[in-house]
Copies of this chain bind each other. A is one copy, B any other.
Amino acid sequence: MSEPFSFTLLKTDGAARRGEIVTPDGKVQTPAFMPVGTQGSVKGLTPEAVAATGAEIVLGNTYHLMLRPGAERIAALGGLHEFMRWPRPILTDSGGFQVMSLAALRRLEEKGVTFRSHLDGAMVELTPERAVEIQALLGADISMQLDECIGLPATRDEMARAMALSLRWAERSKRAFANRSRDGCALFGIVQGGDDPALRAESARALVDIGFDGYAIGGLAVGEPQAVMLKIVAETAPTLPADRPRYLMGVGTPDDLLQAVARGIDMFDCVMPTRNGRHGTAFTRFGQINLANARHAHDARLLDAESTHPAARGYSRAYLHHLVKANEMLGAVLLSTINLAYYQALMAGMREAIAAGNFADFHAATQAGWERGDLPPL
């Protein structure tokens, strides 16, 4: 019953693509958004609740899981799917991005990166080979190569150096993956090169020469304006094979998703729906709504009476406001759920529109809804 990884491009509408990914643990309709289950849990939600938002795949963070509870521990417990009771596809990152952003005392060498654990101070080494090994221990359906992701702005030399290192690590990752991975699982390469089009093109070309099951665009959403990100995406996507999925890492807002799909991206992950939900922000077809705002205190109206998810059409704005102001855990749970459901509804809307050949209309109507903004105050 378990099928090997594959990607089928079902339909295109302009640069936007409607596809299907098959993995050993199930199928994913693309364009797809992957909720982030950093430490083996999409924060506050049971796996059933995550699935009920419409998610077909989640992301697990290698950096967090390797430190606690440990990749070997999770493998001994039957793998990440079994551990977190998520029987559907899982993509794991390589840990590289979070080593750069979270770990102290990191030392970057050709061999890999050594860092001090933020949990217990232990020195830990992460190499391309170990990153592949960890992801195999976790049982990921889709693994990512270790790369070096730098912030923007950066000098061209720095971008070129990190891109070249990431390419050498890509080759080592692919060799390691051939020896380690569960049958039928996939390894994605990651295009780097900062905001320099020539470096991005060079990175993409070299990765395609190595050959991966899918290609990610990394090193974006790291401080640059949206326009810069979209320009890089628009330039990079067409250089990648049409018959492989394209994953824009760590992105983004609903508008980022819409615009990146318009430029040929198939997969996304981002902590924004859960993190902003924990801080009182709802993503809706009316745009972002800050539930902490006093305008909602008396407002008996539902957040979005037409939402596809019961959490968004089940509670008054006044109640959500109260939960946020009172710092009640249920506020974080409900707004995380509402936001993940909105992201999934947005992806479903894009998939339908591409299939029907009216993505441009959907794009315009969705943006118009955000621009109209929230319901007028009572």
Interface set of A (CB-CB < 8 Å, partner B): 39-46, 64, 68-69, 73, 76-78, 82-85, 297-298, 300, 311, 314-316, 318-319, 321-323, 325-326, 328-334
Q: Kindly list chain B residues whose C-beta atoms are within 8 Å of the C-beta of A329.
A: 41, 43-44, 329, 332-333
Query: CB-nearest residue of chain B relative to A300?
Result: B77
Report which residue of A73, A77, A298 has the largest number of chain B beta carbons within 10 angstroms of its beta carbon.
Answer: A77
Q: Are B330 and A41 in contact (CB under 8 A)?
A: yes
Give 9 nearest A-B pairs by CB, closest first. A44-B329, A41-B330, A39-B326, A41-B328, A69-B322, A77-B300, A77-B318, A43-B329, A83-B319
Q: Which listed residue (B42, B68, B83, B319) contacts A325, Cβ 8 A?
A: B68
Q: Kindly list chain B residues whose C-beta atoms are within 8 Å of the C-beta of A85.
A: 314-315, 319
Q: How many copies does the complex hold?
A: 2
Q: Are A334 and B46 in contact (CB under 8 A)?
A: yes
A170 to B331, CA, bound (A): 37
23 A-B interface contacts by CB (under 8 A): A39-B322, A39-B328, A40-B322, A40-B326, A41-B329, A41-B331, A44-B329, A46-B311, A68-B322, A69-B322, A69-B325, A73-B297, A73-B298, A76-B298, A77-B298, A77-B316, A77-B319, A78-B300, A83-B316, A83-B322, A85-B314, A329-B333, A333-B333
A16 to B45, CA, bound (A): 39
A336 to B331, CA, bound (A): 16
Q: Kindly list chain B residues whose C-beta atoms are within 8 Å of the C-beta of A68.
A: 322, 325-326
Query: CB-nearest residue of chain B relative to A326?
Result: B39
Q: A69-B318, A73-B297 are in contact. List 16 more A-B contacts (CB 8 A).
A: A39-B322, A42-B330, A43-B328, A44-B44, A46-B311, A46-B334, A68-B322, A68-B325, A68-B326, A69-B321, A73-B298, A76-B298, A77-B300, A84-B319, A85-B319, A329-B332
Q: Kindly list chain B residues whose C-beta atoms are within 8 Å of the C-beta of A41.
A: 323, 326, 328-331
Q: Kindly list chain B residues whose C-beta atoms are within 8 Å of the C-beta of A44.
A: 44, 329-330, 333
A77 to B298, CA, bound (A): 7
Q: Kindly list chain B residues whose C-beta atoms are within 8 Å of the C-beta of A76.
A: 298
Q: A77-B316, A316-B77, A318-B77 are in contact. Are A69 and B330 (CB under 8 A)?
A: no
CB distance from A164 to the nearest CB of B (A): 36
Q: Are B330 and A45 in contact (CB under 8 A)?
A: yes
Q: Kindly list chain B residues whose C-beta atoms are within 8 Å of the C-beta of A83.
A: 316, 318-319, 322
A135 to B354, CA, bound (A): 54
CB distance from A330 to the nearest CB of B (A): 4
Q: Kindly list chain B residues whose C-beta atoms are within 8 Å of the C-beta of A297.
A: 69, 73
CB distance from A287 to the nearest CB of B (A): 24
Query: CB-nearest residue of chain B relative to A331?
Result: B41
Q: Which listed residue (B64, B78, B330) contacts A46, Cβ 8 A?
A: B330
Q: Kindly list chain B residues whose C-beta atoms are within 8 Å of the C-beta of A45.
A: 330
Q: Kindly list chain B residues whose C-beta atoms are within 8 Å of the C-beta of A333.
A: 44, 46, 329, 333
CB distance from A73 to the nearest CB of B (A): 7
A371 to B319, CA, bound (A): 43
Q: Kindly list chain B residues whose C-beta atoms are within 8 Å of the C-beta of A84.
A: 319
Query: CB-nearest residue of chain B relative to A68?
Result: B326
